[in-house]
A and B are shown apart, each in its own frame.
Chain A
Amino acid sequence: MPFNNKLFVNSDHSILIEFDGDISENLLRYILGVAESIEQSPPTGFIELVPAYNSLLIIFEPLEFQPEQALSQIETDMKQAKMLDASSGNTIEIPVCYDERVAEDINYVADYCSMTVKELIEAHSSQEYTVYMLGFLPGFLYLGGLDERLHCPRRDNPRTRIEAGSVGIGGNQTGIYPIASPGGWQIIGRTPKTMLDIHKSPPAIAHPLDKVRFVPISYEEFERLIEASE
């Protein structure tokens, strides 16, 4: 096994696997490989699993949960687990409008990072990001790979409402609010793309190991795409 791990009976309906090692794409590829091997021969009562940065939660129908049996089967599955290929993700392009009419904090962030707005857009959209996990809000992507020059603290006063599609920076992370919600990140753009399509299966547009690229678009293009999607 390329990464050490510990298994815990986490509750009356779940088993938690925690993996040693720094968060990395290799660790992620291993966690997803473990997830795949568990799903291929699921223990009794298996409902679903949730991969995360350095852990994997396996959830059971509580009335059918047999902790000892589940632990031993998961250990067996893990022995057969293989790291997923580096090429197993898709690349997804997400159009982003960085115009200040939808990017309320872009001037502030550019000032904070001692850049021009143009340089900020260039830095944010030239990077290829890796999707590590989904969580927080339906369809929210945890992305790795934000340029260090763009790290910027969250707002002192979180906004009570951030529009769906808002692209933000919070500390060393960047991401997209998939639905309107409160939030404290600095808003540097907005995408017209729907991050969560509840009528599709699966409902999210991206998955762990996918690559994300932000493609700058004009305000006019943004408005046109919003209209087309309505």
Chain B
Amino acid sequence: MSINFIKAGMQTSLQDLGRPGFRRFGIPNNGALDPVSLQIANWLVSKPLNSACLEITQAGPVIEFTQDMAIAVTGAHFELSIDDIPVDMHQTLLVNKGERLAFGKLVNGARAYLAFSAEPDLPKIMESYSTNLMANFGGYEGKAFKNNNTLPLTNIVNPKTKKTPKELQLEFGDNYQIRFVEGREWSDFSNATQNSFMDSGYKVTSQSNRMGMRLKGEVLKTTETLSMTTAPITPGTIQIPPDGQPIITLADGQTTGGYPRIGQVITADLSILGQLKANDSISFQCIDVDDAIDLLNAKTNLLKQFLYV
């Protein structure tokens, strides 16, 4: 029982909701960059919402199934086909032994999630199936899939078919306003620089990956050169290195950093970052922590309303 990769795609890796609890050993959370889409995909195949999925980046794979099973694709909008017949995302798809699912053109977004109604027949590392691409552990041999790799599966079931509720079928643009709370060194930037950070807008660069999103735009400098001591950072921390161009830490990012922290992207907006790709635009809006918590609660309640029942 397995999924075979006829073509692997640009970066297809196994991810779940990650491995919290190991940051003090320098080990990041890992896990899906768009955890909302991952959970919806798992719901469509009637799996626990934190189950492992394939995270598919920009250029998708061609996959052959060696067993009947149920699958579902959410997240970035791809054109999909099974044995050359077009199929839709956001629904349970029953696939038969020997059939091939092909990811075609990427319409919008950056990362799709393919859930399957089975367990990976692989060891969990630190309680998670997520792949750490930097240290090469977890997932499938710690790496992104390559052509002709085989993901072994166990405990296959065939669930009922479902569709993603309209309210949760997100389409992704190329221009986002991302909300943040003031970072620890926010006040070391002048008012003019703070405003420039919020008003000028940034472009995502092609140097971005699962560790960090590198941005290009107005150069930002602190009013004085800070002598920073290495300190803990988390996904969403926006640091300003000496070249003045922001870097946002993502799920695979370093656990500590030494550059001024201008802001922290709110947890409710982190999943959107996972759908941005090179040349997409991003602008920043500052809010306070209480509002950030309210926004996360509202977003989670929407998910719960449909998925947790």
Contacts and interface: CB of A to CB of B under 8 A. Distances in A.
Interface in A185-230: 196, 198-199, 202-204
Contacts of A63: 296-297, 300
Interface of A: 8-14, 16, 23, 47-57, 59, 62-63, 65, 67, 133-140, 142, 178-179, 181, 196, 198-199, 202-204
B26 interface: yes
Contact of B267 (A12, A53, A56, A136): A12
18 contacts: A16-B184, A16-B231, A50-B255, A50-B256, A53-B229, A55-B231, A55-B232, A57-B234, A59-B234, A67-B293, A133-B230, A134-B255, A135-B230, A135-B255, A138-B25, A142-B230, A198-B125, A202-B22
Interface string B96-113: 000000000000000000
B150 to A, nearest CB: 22
B20 interface: yes
A53 B231 contact: yes
B21 A140 contact: no
B23 interface: yes
A137 B134 contact: yes
Nearest to B267: A62
Contacts of B181: 11-12
A179 B136 contact: yes
B232 A52 contact: yes
Contact of A10 (B21, B264, B300): B264
Interface in B257-288: 264, 266-268
Contacts of A137: 26, 134-135, 254
B289 interface: yes
Contact of B254 (A16, A57, A135): A135
B21 A47 contact: yes
Given A9-B289, A50-B255, A134 B26 contact: yes
A140 B256 CA distance: 11
A62 B22 contact: no
A51 B24 contact: yes
A52 B27 CA distance: 14
B25 A203 contact: yes
B21 A138 contact: no
Interface string B224-254: 0000011110101000000000000000001
A208 to B, nearest CB: 8
A24 to B, nearest CB: 12
Given A12-B267, A13-B234, A135-B256, A202 B26 contact: no
A35 to B, nearest CB: 9
Nearest to A65: B293
B28 to A, nearest CB: 8
A48 B26 CA distance: 12
Contact of B292 (A12, A16, A53, A134): A12
A142 B229 CA distance: 12
A196 B135 contact: yes
Nearest to B132: A138
Interface string B201-237: 0000000000000000000000000000111101010
B126 interface: yes
A134 B256 CA distance: 8
A55 B132 CA distance: 26
A23 B229 contact: yes
